[in-house]
Amino acid sequence: MDIQGFIDGTQKDIEVNSDGHLLVDLHGAEYQSLTVHKSMFSVSNQTGITTQAGLSATTPALTLYNPFGSGKNGVLIYAGCVNSVAFAAASVIWLGLNTNLTAAAVTGTLSTAVRNTLMGSTAPTIQALLAATLPAAPIAGPILGVGVTGAITTVPQMQPLGRWFDGSIIIQPGSAVSFQTSTASGASGFFGEFVWAEVDA
C-alpha cells in the first residue's frame, strides 16, 4: 500500500508475495515488487572497456536498446560506472540518449552478464549490448560524473559515479541509452552498470 495513495486520493492495489506476506511500499519495496514479478534486471561490464572520445555512435562501453515492437518499456532505475585506470585527460561521463524511435536498429554483441534480479528467472526483452553501433551519435543526457587524471592507487577506494533515476527515464521501443565520455577513458579501465525494470508499453 502506497502512502502517497492516501495523500493524492488515488487507489493503490495491495500486493502479497507467494508466501502471503504483504509488500509494503516503503523505500525500496517497489523494487522488491518488480523483482518478485520477474521484471527487474541488472548488467555490468565483466571486463574493462576503453571508451570513445566524445559522443559517439560506435562501440559505447555498454548500451541498453529496446527493440522495435518489443511491447515493453524499459524503466531505468540506476546507471553508474567506475574507472580502474585514470583518464589521460579529465572527462565528463554522460548517459547518452538515442531518442529517435524511427531510426535504424541498434546492433552489437549481446552481453552474457544480464541477470534477472529474481535470480534464475527469465531473460529481458531489452538488449544489453557491448560494442554497439548506434544509428547516430547520441545526445548528452544526464551527467554521471567526471573521470579524472590522478593516480587511482593514491586513495583507499573509488566511489562509483552514478545516479538513481528511479524510473524518471523510460526507454521506449526503438530508443537506447549508453555510457559516453568526452575524452577516452584509461585503457581498458571503464566498467558500466545498469539496473532497469520492464513493464508493458
Question: What is the pTM (predicted TM-score) of this model?
Answer: 0.85
pLDDT one-digit tens code per residue, 67-84: 999 999 999 999 999 999
Q: 1 exposed, middle or buried (CB, 10 Å; 0-12, 13-18, 19+)?
A: middle
pLDDT of residue 109: 97
pLDDT one-digit tens code per residue, 6-60: 444 555 565 666 666 555 554 567 888 899 999 999 999 999 999 999 999 999 9
Work out the pLDDT band at 97, boundaries 50, 70, 90.
very high
pLDDT of residue 32: 87
Is-contact 161 145, C-beta < 8 A? yes
Is-contact 40 196, C-beta < 8 A? yes
Over range 182-191, report the average pLDDT.
Answer: 96
Q: Is 92 helix (H, G, I), strand (E, B) or coil?
A: strand
pLDDT at residue 93 greater than cutoff 50: yes
Give how far Cα 61 sits from Cα of 6, 96, 142, 155, Å: 43, 11, 16, 25
Q: Cell 486520493 sits at which residue?
A: 9
pLDDT one-digit tens code per residue, 103-155: 999 999 999 999 999 999 999 999 999 999 999 999 999 999 999 998 777 77
**Domain ranges (residues) in the chain:** 1-37, 41-200
Q: Which residues, including other chains, have CB under 8 Å from residue 155's CB and lie 6 or more apart? A: none
pLDDT at residue 158 greater than cutoff 80: no
pLDDT of residue 153: 76
pLDDT of residue 5: 45
